[in-house]
Every structure is written in structure tokens, then in C-alpha cells.
Structure 1
Amino acid sequence: MKRVLRLPSLLRLTLVFLIALVFQNCSEQKIKETTDETMNITEYLRANPDYSMFLELLDLTNYASFMNTYGTYTVFIPTNDAVQEYLNSIGATSLSQVPLADLQNIAKLHILDQRINTTSFTDGKIGTPSLYGQYLVTGAANKNGVSSVTVNKEASIVASNIELGNGVMHIIDKVLRVADKTLAQTIEADPNLTLFTEVLKTTGWYDVLNKPLTNTTDIDSYLTVLAQTNEVFAEAGFTTLEQLKNRYSHLNNPLDLKDSLNLFVSYRILPRLQYLADIAITPSLVTKAPLEVISAKLSKDTILLNEDVFNGVLEKGVAIDRTISDVTASNGVLHFVGGNIAIKKRLPAPVYFEFTDITEFRRLTAFWKKPAAAYEKLTVDNAGIDVTWDGKASDGSAYLAYNKQADGSSITSGVGGCWGADVCEIYRFRDANAQNVAFKTPVIIKGRYKIWISYRANGTKVGNVKVFFNGIELPRQVNLSEGGNTDTANTPETVLESQGYKRYATPWSSRVNCRLVGVVDVPTTGRHTLTLQSQGSFTNQSWFDIAEFRPVEMNQLLPKFVAGKSTLQY
């Protein structure tokens, strides 16, 4: 030590500096690990005591930590008053007294695994289901002269679009309740549906509507009911079950599926989970009555059922009461109709199926049928509802795409010569990538039809395509490299038709063509499967426009499709 003290002062100062530097390097450094200081959902709730009770619910169910992780969630947060009101309604004084399973279901019902702002809300269901599996329904309501957005027809949004690090929050004034009653129980609990309940029990359909779901993730396993209130029955002249039996039960056995009263009920039950938002875009609704459908169309803000024009005569339809419909049950959804709907005899009618009019493309709301040009691919993950294909290539070497030309473009180039100026594009339509592409058609009424396939020709690297209807191969193939150069020969259209071709669009473009692929007997009214199968290794794009199903006795040349638009020319 003495030797150190004898060192010159400058050297001693240098030594002290070096020792301090070593200690500094050994000390823990505080490093900022994130560049985003926006609070996550759980952090926000902990910082706001107005929502402490719902935070407690999340803590009890272990969803608090879940909502503090990375994600893109939408959460509906009830206020403390709303949670207290819920506790009062079930006779509990604290959340700890509520069964854990009930709290978990409530938590899941309030969370959606996608960021959704109120600007995306419509008068109907939110497109993404809750984590519980049930859909939430939004709408507009006026309470005490104040308009607000409602959720599930009861809760009002009091604050919205609170952007957080892992999602968006909306504050509501009521706790959302899980729909735990079946359709049968929901109907029976409504005092305005007593006669409808009696009819359900008499025909045996009550038991069907009372069955719990075995797979809550399968939309096809749900049911949809179009109910008639006592008032609607009374307007049609029915106030008792006996009156309905006398009018409809022609076999005097309502339990018989062929009995007219049984058909009266089954005609009001639809397969699948179909909210008003789904019905509004579905022109024909398949029912549980064999081979019978209900037509649907949207007139302004009203959904009309069975309003059709036959032989030039308008048949007035029945409206769905939107204000009280969209009632979620544990096994389906309930709607209310404003009139007594009757089964109609349906004759075969033409169906013009655009290959672009499928769920997978309709989801592209920013592009589908918009005026501007668009090109959007379907990935492996977002196909499988209305279109499927084999050999999906995860590397993107094969895909389907929505290909649209801007409205008003020249019809002689691009896809403007096609109906609606859009086509379904299949890239690398070939074995091991996408040889078989199967589409679900719209509802086709039972009957005999000619099937025409319209497409835009491609000059090279494409070839023949086989067409299958419900798995049965049709006799003629489509040659995708064959254009519609028939105008130059001035061939009469009737001659072309006899050869299995026609000029389906007007004005006509040589870039498009239409091929008759066969005649089919459609055995049942409903949706069917149309499959396209490539017969070679196509390395270029294939473009498909329309599949026409025209009754055999119908004019096969008219109406024509207006090129570049979505209208018909008669």
C-alpha cells in the first residue's frame, strides 16, 4: 500500500479512473427493450378503476395475463355498474361466488380475436365470432333521445375505439350474456310465440330444435328458424292449433314428414347458422322441407322473402322484422317474419354463377366488385367454404386470385370483356398444384339444365379442362386457348349454338368464349358442386367468368351478359 501511495499523483489518478470504469462495466445496464410504450389491454384496465370489476373477472379466469400478450383483439369491457347489475341479477354479492365456468364463458364472449373498430360494424352480426364461438350482433338504438350503438340488442357502447398495444376496446353498459337456451327453449320462453311452440311440439320439430350441438365450431350443424308470432297467425286467420291442423294436416298425422302441417313447419327451418347479414346476400334459402326453397332479396333496408315475379306477375313477399330478429340461441339463430309464408311450387329457373361470387372473394370488401382495378390472391388458409382445390402449394406456386379491371375500361382488353369486368384466375392449374378446383354453386331448383362455361382465352401454356357436376364428368371439355373468333366468320348464332358455342357477352370480344359442356338432371333443389379439372400442366393463367345453368326448354342465347358490367340484356 505504501508503494502505491508513493506513486506520482497523475499515476494515482489514472489508476482510480480505471478501477471506476471496471465497476461501471460490471454494473447492470438498464436497456429499453421496447419501442412501443402503448399499454396493452390488461395494463389499461389496471390503470382505470372504472373497470376494476371486469379486470377481477379476467384475473379469476386467468384471461388477464392472456390479454396482456401480443395480439390483435377486440374486447367489449363492461363498466363496474354493469358488472354489479349482472351480479344482482343472479343473486351474487361478488364475482368469487359465480361458478368459474360461467365466468370463463362470459370472458370469452366479450373477446374477439381480431381488431374491429365501430366503423366496421353493421346492422347485424360482427363477421368474426367471439372466443366463446357465438357471434355478437350490433345495431343502432335510440334511448331517451340519444342514439347509440348496441351489442346483442341490450348493451350500449358508451365509449369506443380505444386503441391499445394489442387491440381495441369498446366500453359497454351491460354484461353480455351467453345464449345458453336452445332454439326450442328460446321460442317457448317468448309469450308471443305460444301457438308456434304448439305447432313445433305437435310436428316433432320441437325436439329437433332442442338438441344441443355436438360441434360448436361447425356452422353447418346449427339451425335457423323463421318464427311467426301469435299476431301474425291471427292475421292469417289462425288462433288455435286445431285451426292449423284442419287447414294443413292433410294426412291427419302431423308427425309424418310428408304431412302438410309438418311441411308448414319444416319450411320455416333453415340449415346452417344464418343471421340477417347472411340472408341478405343469399338469393335462395334451402329449407328443411324436401326440395323447397325460400327466395330472399334486400329492398332498401328490408329483407323480403318469396317476393318474386313469375310470368310477369309480381308476387308480394313477406318481410323479416329486423328489429327483433337475430336472436342467438345455443344451437342457432331465431328470426321473426311479418306474414304467413307458404310453400310455392318452383319450376326450374336459370342460375348465372359468377366464379368470383364466392365467400372467399366476397370477404375482400375493399376490392370485390368495387369500381377500381384489383388483383388479390387467395392464400392456402382462406379457402375452403365455397371453393376448394387439391395439392395446395404452401410456397405460393399455385393460387386462385380475384382479377378485376377498372369499370369503364375497354372491353376488348384485359377482363373488361367479361361480365362484371372480373374473373376468377387460377394460376398453375395443373397436377400436384391445383388440378381439381371445386366450387359450391348457388341454389339450383330441381330440373334439367344445360351447363355453359364462359372464360377468357389465353393463347399459350393452357389447355383442356374437364367439368364435373356433383362428381359426374360432363361430355364436353373446355379449351382455354380457344378464343371467340367467330365474328370474323359471321357465323349465325343459332349455328354456333348447335356446335356448342355462343357469344354470351355484349358487346362481343374475341378474347372471351363460351362452351356448352353438357346437360344434367339436378336431382334436388339446393347447392351443388361444380369441379374444374385441368388436363395438362398449365403454366399460364386460366380465367373463368360464368357458369350458366339454363333450363333445357329456355332460350340459350338470351339474355346476354353486358360486358364490363353486372347487368343483363334481354
Structure 2
Amino acid sequence: MIQKLKSWGIFKSILVLGIFGLILHSCSQQEYAERTDTQVNMLGYIENDPDQFSLFLEILKITGNDVFVGTYGTYTLFLPTNDAIDEYLTSRGASSIQDVSMEDLEDLVRLHLIEQKINTSSFTDGKIPTSTMYGEFLTTGAKNENGETKITVNKVARIIKANIEVGNGIIHVIDKVLPKATQTLAQMLDSREDLSLFNEAVVATGWNAPLNEPLTYDSDSVPSYLTVFAQTNTAFENAGINSLQDLKDRYSHTGNPMDPDDSLNLFVAYRILPGLKYVADLVTSPSHITKAPSEVIGVRVKKDTVLLNEETFNGQLERGIPLDREKSDVTATNGVLHIVKENFNVKVRFPTPVYFDVGDQPEIRQLPSIFRRPGNEVTFYPGELQNIRWGGGLYVKYVAHTAGSREAQAYWGDWLEIQRLRTGSSSWIEFDTPVIIKGQYKVWITYRTNGRASVAQAKFDGELLSRTVDFREYRNTELPPRVYESQGYKQSLAGDTWIYNSRFMGIVDVETTGRHVFRLEALTGAGGPSWIDVIEFRPVEMDQLWPKLGGDGELVYENEGEEPAEGE
């Protein structure tokens, strides 16, 4: 956060100096930013409607940010009305804007601005992928009031006028000032009466100390965010737990909850995840590392419900714990808080399939107008994707295919184009995988066939896999599926287009739960790119043909698209 504040101050200083220099340099009466259209910018829009926005305009002028929002750029502003700011002042016991500190006013402006143009069509029910200039993420959702659906921001403000195009971005008018996070996770738990028993467990196990630490950054600029799954007193009561002593009696096998090996300590640690993971982040991976050593929490989505630790193993459905989405995604100064609806304990994990959509990368997710938006693409060069590295200085292109096309049958309707994977300087590419639970897995790679691509070998954590993949090879549509599987191939996608093939690469022993490195090395030259869709890690005991992967990200099961019933 400190880094964000410093960057903001430096940027404003440079901006003002730059404008002054350009005015001196110009011999005409031309404006600083040559516009490509005749629209007013954000400042002009605010100035043109003083009845609604004069108070926010006053804040901009007091903080010196009127210059900033009046210059050319690409921004999103969540613009509070005068009524919203009046309510904000009343809540602070302030009679005027002058009664609020300069620091708080500057924070207010930064919290309402994003350095990217984001239309409501790019909103999801959860976190906006790009953080505000204050450094916090905003969340959006839908709320029905009197038969009318309104978009909410951070669960408190409603968008009353959306998608106002201005010369330097887009404006969404909101009816409340967005509150900034002021409590650590520990303080948040301590302040909520409905979480009092969970908080007692956190304190008894000593986990309140790390949950109370301010945000820091390591030598690689990785922030120390944490994510917590808390449960209410009601959830405990429904499980027959009414006091801290009940918790100790049930879970503390050593009698010392402070002991990291104590079961009650692990009970709490299992609910704490490293990193900042809103619901939108949780659902991108089937499992997430927890603070309980070698233990992960599984995440699955069924319709609109997010479930923890639900999976079908050996034909048995293990029902999951529902997340209370309405009460989750609560931002703290050092992380995010979620609420679960039921009690749960550390789950003994079995190997779980991982369907690694290689196009699902953090940098691409931050482009809501591109990521999984049909008919869009974007190119990246070495060093621009933190979880993918490649040789040769060539580019990697993310492609989201046009809806209804054959290519759109790819998993999630997208792929990565590797230009080019061939012998020589561009002979390799490697990926950091999602979390894989320790166990033994069969590895498959699904690709879009290109007759001018190359042949490659694969390595997992540096160990060579037993098979190679020929990206020029088409899928055989004549052989029965089980026969084709025995030869090391399959149809992995729910769509039946012949332009995709899936190749078995070998079996890997994953010794530790976590992220791993999958690497491809070219064995031949190539006259064209390689198109990679998904890399699958399926437990060796699992059916390797079902479920199949849908273009919309859904898993399609063998029996008329239904999942196995419990007990089958």
C-alpha cells in the first residue's frame, strides 16, 4: 500500500511538471492533450453537473486531483453524488469537507479510480480484476429491489447511472462513497459478534498474531495478503459446538492449541490461505494451498453456489461446504474474509484432477474486455507473463475464439498460440501449474492441430516424460474411444470437432502438494505456431475420458451430462 501511495505522489508531480512544460513549449492555444474526439473528459463532466457532483469536484480541487482527472488517459471513475458525500461526512461527524483530513480525502479519490476502462459488461459477481489506484480491489454484485436489478459495488453502493463515456475513460455514478478497509483480519474477526467463537479459536491457537500483521512486501514485491474462511456461531451450534471448550474437546488432541501440530491449531490453519483470494480468484482453481502444512481446500462451483471440498472419488460424492457469497468478499487491510455456512475440518485429500487452461493467467484476467470474450486476442512478449516463460524472444498470443466457431469448442473457448515452438533459440516454453495435490497422475495435452507446427517433448519439474507430442497430428475419429485411449490419444473436449487432439504424455509422481513446472521442448523445426488449449493432470485411478471439457468451462459427464449420483 505504501508503494502505491508513493507511486501516486510521484506520478502527480511528474504530470503537473509535464503539463507546465508543454504549455511553455507550445506556440498555439492548443490544449495539453490532443483529443481524438469531442467528448468532455471526466473533469468536464463533473463540472457540467454541479447539482449532483459539486462536492466531489471540491474534493478533487482540494487534493489537486482535478488536474489529473482532466487530462487524457484511460480510467474508470466510480463517481459519488453530493447526497453520497453528505452521508459520508455525516458518518464521520464532519460538517464540511474541510473537516476531513487531506490524507483521507486523497485516499477517497484513489479508491474511486481505476487505471483502466471497465464497462459494466465486464463486471462479474465478485472482484473487479484491476485494483483501484488506492491499491484495494472493488467487488460488484447484483441486487434486486422492487423488481429492479441494480449493480452494487463493495456491497454498499449502487450504480445509479452506468457506462458514461467521456474522453479519458468511463464513469459510473454511485449513491454512496465507497468505504476503504480500516481493519486487519484479526480486528475484523474481533469486532464481529456473530464470529465470536471462531475468533476465540483464532486467539487460542495464536493465529490472531499473523492475522493482525500489517501488509508487507517481500524481496520480490509479493504482498503478505491472507484469506480467511470464518464460520458463524450458528454454524458451530448446528455442529453441536457451543463454546471454546467444546472446540478443544473435539479437536485439540494434544491439549495445547498453540502447538502447530495440535488438531485445533490445524483446524484454524486450514481456514487460512496465503494470498488475496476473492471468490472470483477461488473459482479459477480446483484447489488452494492452506496454512495447514501439505493441506489444500478444494473449490467447486455448482450453478451459483461455491462449494469447498466437494468431489467425486471412486464413484462416491463427497458433498461440499457452501460459501455464503452474500457475506463473503469482505476486504481487510491485509487480506479478505469469507464466511462459510457449515462447520468443517481438515480434509484428508486424495489426488484430484487439474484441468489447466493455459490461457488463464493473472495478466490476461486483468483484461476483462479480452479474457474469455469471444473474438478477442492479445500478444505477450518474454517477461510479460509471470507464470509462463519461453525462449527465443518471440511472442505468445492469447486468443478467445468467436462464439459458434469450431475453434470455440476449446476448453473455455480460448487457447495460447506459441509463435514459434521449434528447435533453435525458441525451442522451449514452460508453465507454472495450478496447485496439484500430491499423488500419481496421467498427463494429457490438448492442442489445435497445425500441419506446420513441431514435435515436442515434455518435462515435469525437470523430469522427462515418456511420450512426445506432435502438434501436427490430427485426431483419429474412426477408432473407438477406448481403443484410441490405449494408443495414447483421446477426445478431451465435449465438442466433436476433429481439429483438436489430446495426447498422453506420461505418468508423473507429484510428491508435494503445490504448484509445479510443466515444460515443452521442441524436437523439430516448425513453419508455424503451436496452439495449446489445456493440460490435464488426472489421477491414474480416474477415468481418463470422462468428464469431457466444455467450451464454456463446464465438465460434461458420460451419463447424459449428469454427475455421478451419491453412492454410484
Give the secondary-structure state (helix, strand or coil) at the position aligned to 2:421. Answer: coil
2:272 equivalent in structure 1: 269
State how 1:243-258 maps to structure 2 within 5 Å: 243-258=246-261
State how 1:60-71 maps to structure 2 within 5 Å: 60-71=62-73
Residue number among 412, 420, 425 corresponding to 2:417 in the alignment: 425
Distance in 1 separating the partners of 2:338 and 2:110: 25
Distance in 2 separating the partners of 1:78 and 1:419: 40
1:126 equivalent in structure 2: 128
The one-character-per-residue Cα deviations of 1:217-276 (angstroms, maximum 9, x if unpaired) are: 967631111111111111111121111011101122212222110111111112221112
Structure 1 window deviating more from structure 2 (477-486 vs 191-200): it is 477-486
1:320 equivalent in structure 2: 323
1:493 partnered with 2:483: yes
1:538 equivalent in structure 2: 526
1:342 partnered with 2:345: yes
Distance in 2 separating the partners of 1:517 and 1:452: 6
Larger Rg: 1
State how 1:405-444 maps to structure 2 within 5 Å: 407=404, 409=406, 423-430=415-422, 434-444=426-436
Structure 1 pair 384–485 and aligned structure 2 pair: CA distance change class (3 A): same
The one-character-per-residue Cα deviations of 1:187-221 (angstroms, maximum 9, x if unpaired) are: 11111111111111111111111111113996763
Give the secondary-structure state (helix, strand or coil) at the position aligned to 1:323. Answer: helix
Mapped contact 2:400–2:408 kept (Cα < 8 A)? no
State how 1:113-152 maps to structure 2 within 5 Å: 113-141=115-143, 148-152=150-154
Residue number among 194, 197, 207 corresponding to 2:196 in the alignment: 194
AA at the equivalent of 1:330: T
Structure 1 window deviating more from structure 2 (320-329 vs 523-532): it is 523-532
Mapped contact 2:396–2:416 kept (Cα < 8 A)? no
Distance in 2 separating the partners of 1:321 and 1:334: 11
Mapped contact 2:383–2:389 kept (Cα < 8 A)? no
Mapped contact 2:370–2:400 kept (Cα < 8 A)? no
Distance in 2 separating the partners of 1:375 and 1:35: 23
Distance in 2 separating the partners of 1:127 and 1:231: 33
Give the secondary-structure state (helix, strand or coil) at the position aligned to 1:282. Answer: coil
1:38 equivalent in structure 2: 39
1:400 partnered with 2:390: no
State how 1:467-506 maps to structure 2 within 5 Å: 467-481=458-472, 493=483, 497=486, 501-504=488-491
Distance in 1 separating the partners of 2:424 and 2:193: 58
Residue number among 459, 462, 465 corresponding to 2:456 in the alignment: 465
Mapped contact 1:386–1:440 kept (Cα < 8 A)? yes
Structure 1 pair 127–382 and aligned structure 2 pair: CA distance change class (3 A): farther
Structure 1 pair 189–503 and aligned structure 2 pair: CA distance change class (3 A): closer
Mapped contact 2:129–2:365 kept (Cα < 8 A)? no
AA at the equivalent of 2:216: T
Structure 1 pair 471–47 and aligned structure 2 pair: CA distance change class (3 A): same
Distance in 2 separating the partners of 1:207 and 1:421: 44
2:288 equivalent in structure 1: 285
The one-character-per-residue Cα deviations of 1:305-330 (angstroms, maximum 9, x if unpaired) are: 22333333333322211222111001
Mapped contact 1:417–1:505 kept (Cα < 8 A)? no
Structure 1 pair 408–34 and aligned structure 2 pair: CA distance change class (3 A): closer
1:295 equivalent in structure 2: 298
1:205 equivalent in structure 2: 207
Structure 1 window deviating more from structure 2 (345-354 vs 263-272): it is 345-354
Structure 1 pair 524–424 and aligned structure 2 pair: CA distance change class (3 A): same
State how 1:513-552 maps to structure 2 within 5 Å: 514-535=502-523, 537-552=525-540
CA drift at 1:348: 1.9
Mapped contact 1:419–1:561 kept (Cα < 8 A)? no
Structure 1 pair 108–452 and aligned structure 2 pair: CA distance change class (3 A): same
Structure 1 pair 519–102 and aligned structure 2 pair: CA distance change class (3 A): same
2:17 equivalent in structure 1: none
Mapped contact 1:281–1:297 kept (Cα < 8 A)? no
CA drift at 1:112: 1.1
TM-score normalised per structure 1: 0.80
1:165 partnered with 2:167: yes
Distance in 1 separating the partners of 2:404 and 2:147: 43
Structure 1 pair 329–391 and aligned structure 2 pair: CA distance change class (3 A): farther
Distance in 1 separating the partners of 2:160 and 2:476: 63
Distance in 1 separating the partners of 2:121 and 2:476: 48
2:445 equivalent in structure 1: 453
Mapped contact 1:478–1:515 kept (Cα < 8 A)? yes
CA drift at 1:487: 6.5
Structure 1 pair 432–212 and aligned structure 2 pair: CA distance change class (3 A): farther
Structure 1 pair 240–424 and aligned structure 2 pair: CA distance change class (3 A): same
Mapped contact 2:370–2:378 kept (Cα < 8 A)? no
Distance in 2 separating the partners of 1:92 and 1:404: 53
Mapped contact 1:418–1:505 kept (Cα < 8 A)? no
Identity of aligned residues (%): 45
Distance in 1 separating the partners of 2:325 and 2:137: 17
Mapped contact 1:408–1:564 kept (Cα < 8 A)? no
CA drift at 1:111: 0.8
Distance in 2 separating the partners of 1:563 and 1:329: 36
Structure 1 pair 301–502 and aligned structure 2 pair: CA distance change class (3 A): closer
Q: List alignment gaps of at least 5 residues for structure 2.
A: 1-26, 560-568
Mapped contact 1:451–1:520 kept (Cα < 8 A)? yes
CA drift at 1:133: 0.9
1:94 equivalent in structure 2: 96
Mapped contact 1:303–1:320 kept (Cα < 8 A)? yes
Mapped contact 1:493–1:503 kept (Cα < 8 A)? no
1:155 partnered with 2:157: yes
1:11 equivalent in structure 2: none
How many residue pairs match? The answer is 526
State how 1:105-116 maps to structure 2 within 5 Å: 105-116=107-118
Distance in 2 separating the partners of 1:73 and 1:550: 42
Distance in 2 separating the partners of 1:29 and 1:535: 61
CA drift at 1:173: 2.8
CA drift at 1:382: 9.6
Structure 1 pair 418–107 and aligned structure 2 pair: CA distance change class (3 A): closer
State how 1:551-566 maps to structure 2 within 5 Å: 551-554=539-542, 558-559=545-546, 561=548
Give the secondary-structure state (helix, strand or coil) at the position aligned to 1:439. Answer: strand
Distance in 1 separating the partners of 2:365 and 2:397: 14
Distance in 2 separating the partners of 1:73 and 1:182: 29
Structure 1 window deviating more from structure 2 (509-518 vs 303-312): it is 509-518
Structure 1 pair 218–78 and aligned structure 2 pair: CA distance change class (3 A): farther
Q: List alignment gaps of at least 5 residues for structure 1.
A: 1-27, 410-414
Structure 1 pair 85–551 and aligned structure 2 pair: CA distance change class (3 A): closer
TM-score normalised per structure 2: 0.80
The one-character-per-residue Cα deviations of 1:455-502 (angstroms, maximum 9, x if unpaired) are: 455444x444232212334354434445667979x99938x84xx733
